[in-house]
Amino acid sequence: MRPVRLMKVFVTRRIPPEGRAALARAADCEVEQWDSDEPIPDKELERGVAGAHGLLCLLSDRVDKRLLDVAGANLKVISTLSVGVDHLALDEIKKRGIRVGYTPDVLTDATAELAVSLLLSTCRRLPEAIEEVKNGGWTSWKPLWLCGYGLTHSTVGIIGLGRIGEAPTCLLARPSPHGLVWAGLPPSGCPYPGTWCLIESCPPSVSTPELAAQSDFVVVACSLTPATKGLCNKDFFQKMKETAVFVNISRGDVVNQDDLYQALASGQIAAAGLDVTTPEPLPTNHPLLTLKNCVLGIQLRGPGLLQKARGRSGHEVVAASAASAKSKPCSSKQCS
């Protein structure tokens, strides 16, 4: 009897142990893994994917036509440990009949928590306060020292009121902002009935310039598309209030960073909190890093933010890999 040939699955990074164990249990496969927390070099990625039946990758791994050619005809499933799929050449993947699994819902709560954390840290000037404590700048109580801006009786504007844009509203309800404005269409009907303390029903959408002008806090949560690339630019920031706080949890390219720097440095807007930038990470000599009124995160909304989210992401993407390899339906979302 000829030995059964095991399917080969290549994993491009260290993944949660729950995911690795689930893959071993769920499919008859040989797992090869790039055993590092750092991105896999292109040559190692090509070596690992050659002849593989399944690829489990991350957002930082570019899966384009060239890599698919290297992989060859054996490749039947690609699972990505990410919410976004911008790194996948979906049209080319579809042509080849390769199935794709991704995990769009696992980080919604984590992203909402980070959005509110950035908003509060920025408006209350927490990083500045921490530095003053460390360097001895805090000597006595001063009535006007490090005064920030509060959420109470404020208007929060959300660009992109979809799943991610909607999620922070539940957490923001407790500080009782005065109102909400939003730009873009919600997925279906009013997405937050009963969520906001002071809003009885879903308010009508406003234009992006109107949102900029009305809001005390602007939270950007839209998808990156040709229409939204560079959406938040000089004209946008000029329409914002001088006391307004800008928060971006979407994609770095939605914001013109040169224009944002000028708006912050000139006092055109009060402050900004950024979870995403272009590039990532920013060079250590980038102008934005010189500003006290710019708070930058390090993609903490990702799977590393919460142990539960990380484990769930790993489990779902592995389940998709195993199911697709066996030609079974996937429990995680599929985009092809």
Structure tokens that stand for 2 in this block: 């000829």
Which CATH number does the domain housing residue 321 bear?
3.40.50.720
Question: How much of the chain is in helix, strand and coil states, percent to nearest 5?
Answer: 35, 15, 50
CA 332, CA 329: separation in Å to the nearest integer?
A: 9
pLDDT at res. 179: 58
Residue 287 and residue 197 share a domain:
yes
Altogether, the residues listed in the chain come to a count of 336
Residue 318 and residue 240 share a domain:
no
H/E segment holding residue 80? strand 77-80
Residues in the chain predicted with pLDDT less than 70, given as ranges, are 1-5, 24-28, 106, 169-204, 298-336
CA 293, CA 115: separation in Å to the nearest integer?
A: 16
**Helices 307-325 + 17-26 axis angle, to 10:** 20
- Is residue 298 in some structural domain? yes
pLDDT at res. 310: 44
Residue-range definition of the domain harbouring residue 99: 7-106+307-325
Residue 156 and residue 288 share a domain:
yes
CA 336, CA 282: separation in Å to the nearest integer?
A: 33
Structure tokens that stand for 215 in this block: 């809001």
Q: 111: number of CA atoms within 13 Å, CB side?
A: 24
Residue 221 and residue 100 share a domain:
no
Residue 256 and residue 167 share a domain:
yes
Residue 169 and residue 279 share a domain:
yes
Residue 93 and residue 178 share a domain:
no
Residue 145 and residue 49 share a domain:
no
Secondary structure (3-state) at 62: coil
- Is residue 2 in some structural domain? no
**Per-residue pLDDT reduced to its tens digit, 102-119:** 877 767 777 788 888 888
Number of domains making up the chain:
2
- Is residue 330 in some structural domain? no
Residue 248 and residue 101 share a domain:
no
**Per-residue pLDDT reduced to its tens digit, 290-328:** 999 999 976 655 544 434 444 444 454 455 555 554 554
